[in-house]
Amino acid sequence: MRPVLVTGATGTVGRHVVDGLRDAPDVAVTAASRDPDRARDRLDCPVVAFDVTDPTTFRDAFADVDALFLVRPPALSRVRRDIVPALAAAIGAGVDHVVFLSVIGADRNPLVPHARIESWLAESGVDTTFLRASFFMQNLSTTHREEIRRGELPVPAGTGATSFVDARDVAAVAVETLRTGTTGSYTLTGPEAIEYDAVCRRLSAMLDHEVTYDPPSLPRFCWSQYRSGGSLVRAAVVAAIYTTVRLGLADRVTDDVRTVLGRPPIDFETFVRDYRSVWT
């Protein structure tokens, strides 16, 4: 049994990685969380306390671990200060394979924190698998859930298309590569790129209410993010992400999910059907 530690185990992708590894006969999975008691209630597997910014948690978390599923917590962007010490401790403790949840385009954009994590891992000598994921479909069922329930999707994406991927597919690829020790880089997308206008039309057709797309200007978007409790820095980061969509840089579709899993990626309609209850 290969011991695997899953970080971000309570998150969008990590929870499905735990599910997939728990059912695998050749792997012993442990979940990592800052709040092990809360995580234990949600995940049916051993849980260890882990805070990537707290070195006192590293020894127990990485004891007897061979492979690591690494999630960069979204709030942490100072890689050298906040992420690297934990990675160095993991490798020092014997981790020989890191499967990292990265972001689409990280190989071409050195400014994103994921690119700096990839570089550090590549130079460390550990075996690596980089999963460069496109936007998760699940952003629509989490971040945008209340807006969609109200019948709107106010994002400044213009007419740019996005190759949304289902987080369950990202997790399935992670499970496969963790189990088999497969290394390399994969750009994980859904089967097509969809404009936000079409996202709303498809949601309207499948839900009991109309969802309209009325993209705000960038300043109006930043202001509304700030007013609803986000920091200006966070608003600027999100605005920058949607700017890449507007410029047509988020529409790349690949076959990598099929290459690893031997089946096509989950399509948008299946995602909406599976998550329908969150918007109704």
- Nearest approach in angstroms of CB 141 to ligand NAP is 11
Q: Does 100 bind ligand NAP (CB under 6 A)?
A: no
- Nearest approach in angstroms of CB 14 to ligand NAP is 5
Q: Does 133 bind ligand NAP (CB under 6 A)?
A: yes
- Nearest approach in angstroms of CB 41 to ligand NAP is 11
Pick the stretch among 12-20, 119-127, 217-225, 257-265 that binds ligand NAP (CB under 6 A). Answer: 12-20
Q: Does 136 bind ligand NAP (CB under 6 A)?
A: yes
Taking each helix axis from N to C end, the angle separating 218-227 and 232-246, rounded to the nearest 10 degrees, works out to 150
Q: What is the token pair recorded at 76?
A: 């942490």
The CA-to-CA distance between both ends of the chain, in Å, stands at 42
Q: Does 73 bind ligand NAP (CB under 6 A)?
A: yes
| Distance of alpha carbon 275 from alpha carbon 280, whole angstroms | 10
Q: Which of residues 218-277 bind ligand NAP (CB under 6 A)?
A: none
Question: What are the backbone dihedrals phi and psi of residue 93, each rounded to the nearest 5 degrees, phi first?
Answer: -85, -5
Q: Which residue has the tokens 């690949």?
A: 254
The amino acid that residue 71 corresponds to is: V
- From 48, 103, 222, 235, residue interacting with ligand NAP (rule: CB under 6 A): 103
Nearest-CA neighbor of 114 among 98, 127, 97, 131? Answer: 131
DSSP 52: T
Pick the stretch among 16-24, 31-39, 194-202, 245-253 that binds ligand NAP (CB under 6 A). Answer: 31-39
Pick the stretch among 50-58, 118-126, 198-206, 214-222 that binds ligand NAP (CB under 6 A). Answer: 50-58
| Distance of alpha carbon 4 from alpha carbon 82, whole angstroms | 22
Q: What is the token pair recorded at 20?
A: 């997939």
Which residues 6+ apart lie within 8 Å of 146 measured at CB? none
| Distance of alpha carbon 154 from alpha carbon 238, whole angstroms | 13
Pick the stretch among 128-136, 150-158, 206-214, 231-239 that binds ligand NAP (CB under 6 A). Answer: 128-136
Pick the stretch among 21-29, 66-74, 175-183, 249-257 that binds ligand NAP (CB under 6 A). Answer: 66-74
| Distance of alpha carbon 264 from alpha carbon 257, whole angstroms | 7
Output the 3-class SS for 98-125.
EEEEEECCCCCCCCCHHHHHHHHHHHHC
- From 5, 21, 67, 71, residue interacting with ligand NAP (rule: CB under 6 A): 71
Size of the site for ligand NAP (CB under 6 A): 26
Q: Closer CB to ligand NAP, residue 12 or residue 141?
A: 12
- From 39, 98, 148, 245, residue interacting with ligand NAP (rule: CB under 6 A): 39
- Nearest approach in angstroms of CB 208 to ligand NAP is 26
Q: Closer CB to ligand NAP, residue 47 or residue 222?
A: 47
Nearest-CA neighbor of 32 among 50, 52, 17, 19? Answer: 50
Contacting positions for ligand NAP (CB under 6 A): 7-14, 33-35, 39, 50-53, 71-74, 101, 103, 133, 135-136, 139
